[in-house]
Structure 1
Amino acid sequence: MVYLTRRVTFSAAHRLWSHALSDEENQVVYDKCANPNGHGHNYILEVTVRGTPDPQTGMVMNLTDMKKIMNEQVVDWVDHKHLNYDVPWLEGVIPTAEMLAMKFWERLERDFPAGLLYEVVLHETENNRASYRGE
């Protein structure tokens, strides 16, 4: 089994805030990330597929195809956007790295060949990342 990873970067703003919590609770839980105007990150998104290389091409998947799917399903929607307000499919989602990794998986899974998508890793900062491998 071979694992193939494509990496892309994008910049986006977000605000961490839960309507299920009081203002005070949100401040305690999210601290400076609850800033009413939001804050931004330079994210790194890594998408990994796994499989056996095709004997004719030597590839698990064409990296050009991976790039196209990643851009169309995620990057073009989120790059230089405010994730709380500008991305319809994130409406009502608290845009933590964990939730974003899951939502990105949902978007990507429908365009990758069945069973090929292995992992989505989202680096929010150089110290924080979340990974998701589906249900």
Structure 2
Amino acid sequence: MPRPLVTVARRFHFDAAHHLPRHPGRCRHVHGHGYELEVHWRGPVDPESGMVVDFADLEREVDERVLKALDHTDLNDRFENPTAENVAVWIWDRLVEAGLPIHEVRLHETPTCLVVYRGEHAPG
């Protein structure tokens, strides 16, 4: 019998400052955000554990690979142009390096603005 394919997600929070040097508006000035990060993993349910992945393992990897690098920092020290899009792609890349079955990264810069990245690239 085929195993169910399930997406699981975990939310995280970090605070960081940045400015967007190429932005024509007020975002070119230094400001901060309370970022909400959602990481979604997709895979078959393991018949033994009943899980796709252990939430504790996910938390440890995100903490080590992402939160420790970004929380309470100036994102301009790490990124040339720290848009939410560029930060989300960086987060994806860091977690893929861990070998986790990443399905989607959602980075909320504000309560009403978010970026979704699924590892896809535009042609060209």
Q: Same fold (TM over 0.5)?
A: yes
**Structure 1 consecutive aligned stretches of length 4 or more whose deviation exceeds 3 Å:** none
Asked whether the 8 Å contact 1:3–1:48 carries over to 2, the reply is: yes
Q: Give the aligned length.
A: 116
Cα separation, 2, equivalents of 1:95 and 1:112: 25
Match of 2:14 in 1: 10
Asked whether the 8 Å contact 1:69–1:112 carries over to 2, the reply is: no
Match of 1:125 in 2: 110
Query: More strand by proportion, 1 or 2?
Result: 2
Cα separation, 2, equivalents of 1:111 and 1:65: 11
- Give the TM-score normalised by the residue count of structure 1: 0.82
Unpaired stretches in structure 2, ≥5 consecutive residues = none
The two structures, once aligned, show a CA RMSD in angstroms of: 1.0
Tell me how far 1:112 sits from its aligned partner. Answer: 3.0
Q: Does the residue aligned with 2:53 lie in a helix, a strand or coil?
A: coil
Please list the CA deviations of residues 109-135 of structure 1 after superposition, one character each: whole Å capped at 9, or x if unmatched: 11033xx11000000000100010003
- Give the TM-score normalised by the residue count of structure 2: 0.89
- Identity %, equivalent residues: 41
Unpaired stretches in structure 1, ≥5 consecutive residues = 19-25
